[in-house]
Chain A
C-alpha cells in the first residue's frame, strides 16, 4: 500500500463523511436558512460541494452523476455551473430540492469520487487533464484530488459556522 496516497484517499472520505453527518441532523428549514442576504444556506453550500465534486468525478473518470441522473431537468437547475462565481441573487434563486433528495445526490457523488480515488495510483495521479471541469484549467488528476480536498474542507468550515449560527453544534465540539 502506498501510504501517502492512502492518506489522501482517507482524508477525502473523512471530509465527505463529516459533510454528510453535519447536514443529516438538520431540518429542511434549517437547511434553507441564510445568515444574511450575502451568505449562503447550508443546503446551497451542500449542493455546491456535490456539484463541484461531480466535476471532480468527471475529471477523474469521465462519469457525471449529475448528467446521468438528469438532475438538471429534475430540479430545474442549469445544466452547467456549480455555483462558483455566481452573484448572490443568482445563488439565492436556485430552487433547492428536498433534503432527502439533495442528500441522496451528495452521498452518491461523494461515494463515486471516493471510489475514483481508489482507482488511481501514482502513475494515474500524474495523468494530465487538458481542461479540468473542476478547476477550469490544465492540471493533473493528482492536482484535482488535492484541490478537491482543500475545496471541500473550506466549505465544511463554512457549514460548521452556519450551523453554529443556527445555535447548533458542529462536528468539532461536543
Chain B
C-alpha cells in the first residue's frame, strides 16, 4: 500500500471510531474500566479459558489501537506499565475522562499503529484487542510492533477469524456458508459502511509475522461459551454460530532474539 492509502485508511477509521465512540464506546467506558476480570471477544470468553496473557506484573506493555483503553486499565490494575496508542482523539478523550474518574493513570499516545512515536525495544508485551489487529495495515503495524518490543517480547492480538470473514455477506449477519473468496483478502471495505478493515488468511498472518521477526506461539480460536447471548452492539455474529465455528481468534507470537 502507498503512504497515501495508509493515511486514507487511518483517516476513514478515525472518522468511523469518532462516531462509534459517541454511539457506544464512550457510554460503555465506565463499566469496561471497572471490570476486574479479562474476557475476550464479543461473547466474553474468560482469559482463564485461553490463558494467553499470564502474569503482567512489572511488564512494559503497549496497546496498539487502545480505543477507550479499558484493556490498558485492566493491565495497569494487574501491575503492568501500559501505554495506550490510538489515532482517534475522541476515544482518547474518553480514556482521559476515565483516568480522572478512576485514578488509574498511564500514558496515552495519539498515533496510528502504523507509525508509533515511541522508542525501539521499549516494551515486553504488545497487545491489540480489535485495535491495530483489525483496523491497521499489517504490512506496517506488525513491523512497528516488532520494533517496539524487546527481544523475546510477546505480541498478542484478537481479531475476526478467517472463517467469520469468509461467511460474512456484504450486508446482514454472518451465514453458515462461504460467501467470499479467501485468495486476495487483505484490505476490506464494507458496502455502505465507513472504515477500512484488514483481514488476512492464516497463511498470510504467519508469513507476515515471520517476516517481521516473530515466531508464532499459539493461535486460539474462540468458542462462544454455552451461556453466551447476543452482543447488544456488536451483533454481526450470533452465539449459535460462534458455538459451532470460531468467529474470533487470538494470535500469540514472540519476537525472536536475533
Contacts and interface: CB of A to CB of B under 8 A. Distances in A.
A117 to B, nearest CB: 8
Contact of A119 (B107, B114, B119): B114
A100 to B, nearest CB: 15
Interface in B97-152: 107-112, 114-120
Contact of A62 (B10, B109, B114): B109
Interface string A109-144: 001110110110101000100000000000000000
Contacts of A118: 3, 114-115
A68 B123 CA distance: 12
A127 B92 CA distance: 15
Contacts of B118: 63, 65, 112
B195 to A, nearest CB: 15
Contact of A112 (B10, B108, B117): B117
Contacts of B7: 2, 121
A108 interface: yes
Interface string A60-73: 11111101100000
B93 to A, nearest CB: 11
Given A1-B3, A2-B4, A61-B110, A108 B11 contact: no
B83 interface: yes
A113 B117 contact: yes
A112 B112 CA distance: 13
Chain B, interface size: which category? 20 to 34
B117 A116 contact: yes
Interface in A15-36: none
B114 to A, nearest CB: 7
A62 B108 contact: yes
Interface residues of A, number: 23
A119 B87 contact: yes
Contact of B109 (A2, A63, A111): A63
Contacts of B119: 65, 108, 111-112
A127 B120 CA distance: 27
Nearest to A127: B89
A111 B115 CA distance: 11
Nearest to B83: A68
Contacts of A57: 117
Contact of A60 (B8, B11, B117): B117
B4 A61 contact: no
A115 B109 contact: no
Given A111-B119, A112-B119, A116-B117, A62 B4 contact: no
Given A111-B119, A115-B117, A119-B87, A61 B109 contact: yes
Nearest to A1: B3
A115 B92 CA distance: 19
Contact of B92 (A62, A64, A67, A119): A62
B141 to A, nearest CB: 12
6 contacts: A1-B2, A2-B3, A67-B107, A108-B120, A119-B115, A121-B10
Interface of A: 1-2, 6, 57, 60-65, 67-68, 108, 111-113, 115-116, 118-119, 121, 123, 127
